[in-house]
A = this chain, B = another copy of it.
Amino acid sequence: MVEDLYRARLKERPSSKTAAFLSSLYDDLRILEEDLDGTEAHNIMLFEKGVMSKRELASILASLEGIREEWCEGKLVLDTKFEDIHELVESRVVEEIGIEIGGKLHTGRSRNDQVAVDLRMRVRKDLLNLSDKLLDLIEVLIKLSEKHSDSLMILYTHTQHAQVGVYAQYLLSYVDALIRDFERFSDCFVRVNLSPLGACAIGGTSIPIDRDRTCELLGFDGLVENSIDAVSSRDFAVETASHLATLMSGLSRISEDLILWSTSEFGYVELSDEFSSTSSVMPQKKNPCSVELVRGKTGIAYGALVNLLTMVKGLNTGYSRDLQETKSPLWTSFDAAESSLEILVGVFRTLKVKADRMRSNIAESYAPAVDLAEALTRECDLSFREAHRIVGELIRESVKSKVLFNQIKTKTLEEACKKVLGRDVVLSSSLLATVADIESDLSRRVSVGSPNPSEARRMIALRKKNAKILRTRLSDRNLKIEKARKRLMTSVRRYITKRR
């Protein structure tokens, strides 16, 4: 039994409780495969550079693959006496094939660069997965918006009726925000997919390692060159957590819209039963629990970001054990974001949109008021501010006397003009009717990006194209990494087989 792999310098062992405190073993399980890949690549390079023989390499690789097999079959024994997965793996190899050969596995490397390379491999994977889900949501929203480019709906500011538009426009506003999230993760990937391996503890090594070779074997795009930087920096993790937090802030907004619009009072949408819960006591309840949880899980992403920012605050340069705490917040935040995206994909795929209710609610709204004001500037050669005041006066009176927008009389409007301008204004009899015709009103709003059906359709077409481009970019990145991995696994198997 290989106890105390690294502790020759120290006499006493930690108690099992202290060992458990020190150990990151459970957080490490998420990088176990990455750790094995990285170790195998490192050892292949060591062999290629003449640091070990082919036979030694084969033994080490076989032992590592044994661990992988146990892990995949759920048989790997975990013990928090090991400080981390790195110690567990090396101990297992040493135990199995002896310290003379197994003890070579860690030559020209340190846990400091090892954990950094594992983390980066895992984060790049999670970034690509997440981006995939992001695109799923983007595509579902585009699809739904195609159905609703003619679904008239009130647009809200301050949660109050603002202007009339179409529901598609809301969905497209989500799409555009999510595309920015995609771009952020994509930019971040460039800084993540770099290899720190070979930085060793902090100051490199006299062992003739080849950093470019391990970089290539592991599918990285380049090196984190400076050895001090490579082991000390976690800004790639902080940046990742930042973008996850920003993403979740956007998902919390989408959720809030869905929750509000699911109320009996709004009644614009209804979540499918599959994404709703009921009450243990109130039999009538149908609660939008899934999106409430998405909103609630925003806290996870914010908290994880603050956790990481706190961790690195005021740390000295050089690896410190504090950095061990990078993993848990990252995993938690990725999980929250990924599952939230999946949920929203399902929610929108099955969402019941009550376009009739959306449409009928406009009838009771003063939302076309700004269209009236703009019409007044055109018809009567008034400045916008004058027109705005007239309509403001008009609406105040209408609210007071409970007259709906489409019930307002030309005469009343003329009175408001008189009151505000101090003079008579002649209005065409059709003016109010034209504005009250919501559809034609909307078609007049031709400014780029306006929420009218034709703009919606134009924008949908563009977004569809863009989504395809993003898909391609994503799969190219995936492909490069998968190819490297396939090559690595093939090499590993070849070395092992030859041995026999």
Contact = CB atoms under 8 A, between A and B. Distances in A.
A227 B283 contact: no
A374 B249 contact: no
Contacts of A386: 99-100, 103
A351 interface: no
A264 B299 contact: no
A401 to B, nearest CB: 15
A293 to B, nearest CB: 5
A499 interface: no
Interface string A6-22: 11111111110110011
Nearest to A314: B314
Interface stretch (A70-78, A133-141, A446-454): A446-454
A193 B444 CA distance: 29
Given A14-B274, A264-B364, A420-B8, A284 B104 contact: no
Interface stretch (A255-263, A477-485, A487-495): A255-263
A229 interface: yes
Contacts of A44: none
Interface residues of A, number: 202
Interface in A402-461: 420, 441, 444-452, 455, 459
Contacts of A283: 8-9, 369-370, 372-373, 388-392, 394-395
A223 B455 CA distance: 15
A165 B212 CA distance: 22
Q: Is the interface of A mostly helix, strand, loop or mixed?
A: helix
A394 to B, nearest CB: 8
Given A155-B202, A310-B310, A228 B324 contact: no
A448 B225 contact: yes
Nearest to A303: B307
A314 to B, nearest CB: 4
A309 B245 contact: yes
B165 A203 contact: yes
Interface string A94-106: 1000011111111
A276 interface: yes
Nearest to A227: B449
A232 B173 contact: yes
A304 interface: yes
Contacts of A204: 163, 445-447, 449-452, 455
A198 interface: yes
A177 B235 contact: yes
Contacts of A69: none
Given A106-B281, A282-B370, 5 more contacts: A6-B279, A106-B385, A200-B447, A206-B374, A299-B329
A356 interface: no
Contacts of A390: 8, 283
A375 to B, nearest CB: 7
A311 interface: yes
Most chain B CB atoms below 10 A, which of A5, A163, A229, A283: A283
A321 interface: yes
A112 B13 CA distance: 43
A280 interface: yes
A448 B214 CA distance: 12
Given A200-B281, A278-B7, A325-B293, A374 B205 contact: yes
Nearest to A312: B249
Given A318-B158, A342-B17, A8 B396 contact: yes
